Every structure is written in C-alpha cells, then in structure tokens.
Chains A and B, each alone.
Chain A
Amino acid sequence: MGSLLQKKPEILSPAGNLEKLKTAILYGADAVYLGGQEYGLRSAAENFSRIEIEQAMEFAHKRGRKVYVVLNAFLHDEDMQGLDDFLAFLEKSQVDAVIVADLGVLRQVRKFSKIPIHLSTQASCLNYESALFWKEQGVCRIVLGRELSLQESSQIAAKAGLEVEIFIHGSMCMSYSGHCLISNFTQGRDSNRGGCAQSCRFEYSLERENGERSQGFFLSSKDLWGMRALPLLKEFPVHSLKIEGRMKSALYVGGVTKAYRAAIDLLFSSPNLTEEQIVHFEQELDKSVHRDFCTGNLLNSAGLESVYDERVHNGEKSDYAIAGMVLEVSQETNQMFIEVKNSFNLGQTLELLPFQGENIAFQAEHILNLIGKSLERTKPSSVIALPLVAGAEAYNIIRVRTQCN
C-alpha cells in the first residue's frame, strides 16, 4: 500500500439504477456502488439486472471508474442458493469489488471467485484488531463504522495496513449498523436482508423512569455532512469517501457528487480549503434533499445535537428540486430534450448543472411538447423541449427552486 499522504481519496457514489450510475460517474465519482436483484440491503431500490450490471461495467470502465457490487445482506442458508452463479457472473463482468458483511458470504466469494472483497459497514468494524481479523479473512478494504472519527479511521488504515472507506455524506443509522432488529421483530421485515422499515424515523413519546415525559424523534439521526471534515484528510488520510443514498434521486447523486468532487480537487491542488470555499460547497449540498445536517462522528463524538430530539419536522427537505434531466441535445434544432421530474412554469428560473464548473441559471422559455405545442407549465413524467443552453449535455441535471426567500 503506497503512502496516502497527498493522495486524493476516491469519491464513491451510490448508483440506485443505471441512470444514476451514469449521473454519478459523469459528475465526478471515481467509483460507484450498486446492488443486484438480490443479496443487497436495498431491496426496495430498483437495483440492477445482470444485463444492466454489464452495461454499468462497460460505462464505468470506459471512463476509468470502478464499480463495486453490494452483497451485504446477512443471508440465511437458503439465500445462498445461486450465489455461486451470481459470483461467477460478477467475476466475468470484471466488477472491481464486492461489498460483504456476512462471513458466510465472504467465504463463498473467496470459494467461487477472485473478486476483491470490501467489508461492509454492516459488520461494524471499529478498531484495528477487528480490521486485522477481517484482513486475515481476505478483505482488502474496510468500510468502517460511522461511529469513528476521521482520525481514528486513518489510524486503523495505517495500523492494519488496509484500505479504509468512510461515509462522508448522507443518512445515518442511529444504531451501530447491523445492530438493529426493530424492523424484524415489529414488522417482520428483516433490516439486514434489505427490508428495513425505518422505525427509527417515527415520532416517539418517551416516559423516563423519573416520570418525565417528552415527545420527539429521538431515534432519528440527522444526516451526515462531511464537507467540514475534508481539510483534515491531508493529516488523516483515508482511501475512499462514500456518499450514502442508493434510494435517492439523480439530483442528489449528481449534486452531491459534484460538490465533493470539486471540493476534493480544490483541496488537493491548494494548501487548504478556505472557509468561504467550504460555505460555497455546503450551499451546494443544501440544494439536494436532506434532513438537518451534522458532522456525525467525523470530528467529534456525535452528541444530542446529531439527533432530532424535539418535536420538529424530521423529514427530508430542500429548497430545490430536480426539474428534470437532459435526455438529448439537438444542435440541429437548437433544443435540449428534458425528462421532467418536477413541474415548473414558463418563465421560471432554472439551473443547469454541468458536469464540471459553475452552474448555469436560465429561464424556461418556449417550453414545447414533442408535437410542438407550447406549454405554460410542465408536468412530471413527461418529455419536453427547451431552447438549448450552451454547454448542456445528456445526463445534465436541471434543478428548480421550490422555496422563495
């Protein structure tokens, strides 16, 4: 393992489907993680069929990016059937690694393939001895528990001689990952096989033993927002920064990936990030759907400030929404064709997110449907044509402000 100092960490983005995978890569992800139809923890996500995995590999590898496939469910014996065949397929497809939590699955991977193995955060690896154990089992990278600081994570990498990956952004489990059976034993949905019912997001009334009563979302964690921790990466390097969110939108995937890509590139091409730059990137992150933010344990131990304890809205929110995604541009007709995800009106200001560089604000003028009819307002799940914005490309995200100051 080479020295990590001054080496940019990998930005690892979620890919809930093929469209989001392309979005993540085009917006700057070094690697993406995705789930097949089985064996992952997001059963409700669209996930990838085998043909889609092959397409994903082709798209990513053509651009020098990596693809990791999650196999991080805790499987029962009967779930293991077919895993050997799936592993043979993944190996043939040249996936760059599989992400595994279960020692049984890990042993199957080693038995049936030579695919590199990353240990999932579900295994709650929190210390160097544990990391060494998993290294002995054949793991080459560990996705550390979100309970660790950046400093602790970096020290584990150095002491265990392993690649480490940490979560830098996104939703967080309140429990140690893999240490929550609420969903299993209250709703019959196995959270460790992809069925988490998110009971932690419920509002609870709490009666303490001293009789004190309160109401709130005390099991609901605020989202992780690691932008402020990035400057420490030069002192405490890690190999990979993971963005959570295979269930989230293309706007989230593209917007968040772009912000971290730009921040990391800037950090490693200058002495450090300035406060002004950090604020700028945080403002960009704020435009993707999120809960309230905290820095988790990256800088200090997460305290009550990381939890929705009061009777407040704890849902996901943003002042911006994805207006649509550019499907194609036609130089011939000087138009761009947009798949509309959220409605917007004629004359409304939109923002196009190029894959790199400053975002471009423009007004929605001359909205046409595909038979040339002018529209005053778009509707979701439709395809429309707008005058071409210079620099627009397929898979560019267009966002719209939903709240006015």
Chain B
Amino acid sequence: MQLVAYLDKDKFFPPSSFVKEVIVCLRDFSSRPVFAKEDLPDLYAEAQRRGQQLLLECDLLFNSEELERASAELLELESNTDCLRILDTGLARLLVEQIRSLQIDLMVNWGNHNSEGLLGWNEAFGSAIRRLILSPEISHSMLDGFIKKIPRQVEIPVLGALQVFYSRRLLLSEGKDDVQALASSEESAHKNFPFYQNKRGTFMDHVRDLGILDDVVNSFQGEQVWGRIDLRGRPSEVLWPLLERFWESRSAEDWLTFKEQYTRALFKGYFRQNKSSSLFRKLKNEHLEKQHDGFVGEVIDYTKKEYIVIKQPVWGHHLCEADWIEFLTPEGKKIGGRVRDLHKLNGHVLKDSEHENYFVMKAVKGAIVKSQLYFTKREEAPVVSSPS
C-alpha cells in the first residue's frame, strides 16, 4: 500500500519517506477548504522539492452554471498540480473533454460498492482515470475482490475524519461565512457530530475517526492500493513522526503509542466486515411476506365469533364451502379451519370465491386482521350412487 495525505493549514508536509502524495483543498472547491488559490504555486513547489506529488481535490457537486466556472478555474490551476481529484461526474467529463491528455482521480466514494460499477467508471473514462477513490463502506474482502478485477489504482480512507453527510443547504446560519458546530441528539447514542458549513453547503463527520491503518499496513503490496490519511485539525507535528515510526516498524506497540496521542476516538467502520446486510434483514417481518403457493388472500376485518372479510387478489386460490384452510397470523402463528358461510359483502351466498375481490366467511378464532389465508385441501363430494 502507498499513502496519500491531506495538507493542513500549518503547511506541515508529511514525511516523504512514506507519504508519496499530498492533497490540497482550496476554497470554492472543497468541503473542507484549507488554502486559497494563491497558496497553490508555493505548495506545489514545496511538494516538488520534497519529491511528493501534489493533488488538488474538488469534492463538491455543481449545477450547470457553477460547473463551467469551476472547470475554467481548475484548468487554470491544473499547471500547479500533478493530478485533480474530482467528485462531480459532469465536471470530470468536461475537464477530460477540454484536455485530452488530462488524468484525474475520480471520486466514486458515495456508493459504488460493486465491481461491475467500478469497471463501468473505468471503461467510461478510460485512460483519463489514474485512480478510483472508493467508498469508506468498502470492507477488506470487498477490496480484495475489486483489485483483482479493476486495472487501476484504487484508494480508501485509512485514517482520519469520516464525512457522512453533504447538503447543498446552509443549515447552520443564513450567512455564507464558515461555521462549525457540534450536534447531538437524545435519539442517537452518538454525541457531538462535527458539522461545518461554508458557502458550498453543510457537511457532517462521524463522531469518531476512521482508523484502519493497522489493518491494512501489511495487506496490500505494490502500488495499486492507496491509503488516505487525513490529519487536518489534529496535531500533525506530533502525529506524523509517530505514524512514520509505526509505518517502519509495523508493530502493534507503535500503533498503540500513536493511538494514545491521537486526539479523537478511532473506529474500524465497515472495513473488517460490512454488517449492514445482515442487520437490515432483521427489520423485515418475514411473517408478512406472502408465499404464493395456495395463498388465498388477507384478512381485512375480524369480527369476533361472527365473520371475517378476506381481500383476495386476482391470483388468489379460490375457496369453496367446506375447504380446509390455514391462517398465518402476523406473529407467525398457524391456525387451521374450514370455510363456512361463504358470501359476498352484500350478503349474497357464494358457491366459491372466484371472481370476488372481497368475500366474507365465518370467523375462525385467532385469524386476526393482516393474517394471511392459505388453501389447504378440498374434500371431493362423496359420490352418491343412483338407485338402481
């Protein structure tokens, strides 16, 4: 794995011995701007002197009018960078159209969790893409799968703030001045979400920083996988030497020493395992999922000891008087019974429920509203032999 890191306003460059590239965030182009456009030439010169590549990040979305302005300005700034990092698909397309030789790092970090999609981005932009910047929701095993299929550099966040929300609206104040705040809700176990607003919108970070550098340090050899470090707002002069020591030793002790000096709590996010699939499945009430085999309909009225009303879809299994049936209640309980007193809503007696959207029958104890009704079996009428 190779490392890339953000530059903070103190202009402290991380050691070039292990951080090969630095990212600059400028006002008007970044959710967390640190520098003005005028700073860029000096920063670029310093990066060149140190043997590091300088990348200019634009992690914002634009409407059509803003897009043209942003494109023009970025093309002016491009000569003082080694590569542009672009989130907006339209902006990426426009830049690549304007400079055919341009290579960009494409930020596909909101969504894009499958290899088919990543291959799609790669094919759509072709050689104009140097690197795909991936989502923080990618797990180790997902990344393993992606790098085998995608013939491009990929990048994941490995240490630092984790942005979880991006709104165009200015939510903290009416004015366009930069505002920062901490937000907490009694309805959430997490407290003090960092919010920051600038004229480009409002952004929110997770309450904890992502810290998976110790997980990946020995995992990915070569130059295909890049890890991104964001120490903006953290005591970088203290932390970078500790990180350098950890990178060289790759020891658990040095990682622990680093963590002790880190000013915020770290967490692993989804990197070790993406659990959202299994967690979410539990939200569904499987008893409400219809099994179509023998499904008749759903109880929409249960009048105790009197009757029930069934709503029957067109494909519902038709019922006749005396058919054996079974109800599946919303709690998953199964109740058997037989069809009695089959009739229409207006009271007309039915021979069977065919052609009816709704029908009424004698109540079966416990077959409450939202219970599903299934046909079980029909007993053939006994053959009555004619008198000889």
Chain A interface residues toward B at CB < 8 A: 18, 37, 43-44, 46, 49, 51-52, 55, 74-80, 101-108, 122, 124-134, 136-137, 145, 147-148, 152, 155-156, 159, 174-176, 178-182, 184-186, 188-190, 192-195, 199, 202-209, 218-219, 221, 302-304, 306-307, 309, 327-328, 330, 332-333, 335, 337, 339, 369-371, 381-383, 385, 394
Bound-state CA distance A185–B95 (Å) is: 33
Note all chain A residues with C-beta closer than 8 A to B315.
Answer: 51, 55
A176-B167, A185-B162 given as contacts; is B114 within 8 A of A128 (CB)? no
Chain B residue nearest to A102 (CB atoms) is B117
User: B289 contacts which chain A residues (CB < 8 A)?
Assistant: 37
> Whole-angstrom distance from the CB of B333 to the nearest CB of chain A?
18
Interface size on B, residues (CB 8 A): 90
Instruction: Determine the residue in chain B with the shortest Cβ distance to A18.
Output: B313
Contact status B292-A199, CB under 8 Å: no
State which of A37, A107, A302 has its C-beta within 8 Å of the C-beta of B120: A107
- Which residues of chain B are within 8 angstroms of A193 by Cβ–Cβ distance? 276-277, 280
Minimum distance in angstroms from A204 CB to a CB of chain B: 4
Which residues on B sit within 8 Å (CB–CB) of A137?
120, 124
Pairwise interchain contact A195-B283, C-beta atoms closer than 8 A = yes
Question: 1/0 per residue B103-139: CB within 8 Å of A?
Answer: 0000000111111111111001000000000001100
Contact between B188 and A77, CB atoms less than 8 A apart: no
Does B307 contact A131, Cβ atoms closer than 8 Å?
no
Residue pair A74, B113 in contact (C-beta under 8 Å): yes
B170 touches A303 (CB 8 A): yes
Map CB proximity to A onto B288-302 as digits: 1 under 8 Å, 0 otherwise: 111010000000111
- A309 CA to B171 CA, complexed, in Å: 8
- Nearest chain A CB to B216 CB, angstrom units: 19
Q: Count A-B pairs with CB separation below 8 Å.
A: 278
Are B187 and A203 neighbours in the complex by a CB distance under 8 Å?
Answer: yes
> B2-10, B84-92, B236-244: which lies at the A interface?
B84-92
- Which of A44, A102, A104, A333 has the most chain B CB atoms closer than 10 A to its own CB? A104
Q: Select one of B112, B274, B279, B303 contacting A382, CB under 8 A.
A: B303
Q: Which residues of B contact A382 (CB under 8 A)?
A: 301, 303
Asked if A76 and B114 make an inter-chain contact with CB atoms under 8 angstroms apart, the answer reads yes
Q: Check A176/B172 contact, CB under 8 A, given A18-B313, A102-B111, A130-B89.
A: no
**B269 contacts A by Cβ under 8 Å:** yes
Q: Closest Cβ of chain A: how far from B220's Cβ, in Å? A: 19
CB neighbours (8 Å) of B170 from chain A are 303-304
Q: Which residues of B contact A18 (CB under 8 A)?
A: 313
Interface pair B283/A189, CB less than 8 Å apart: yes
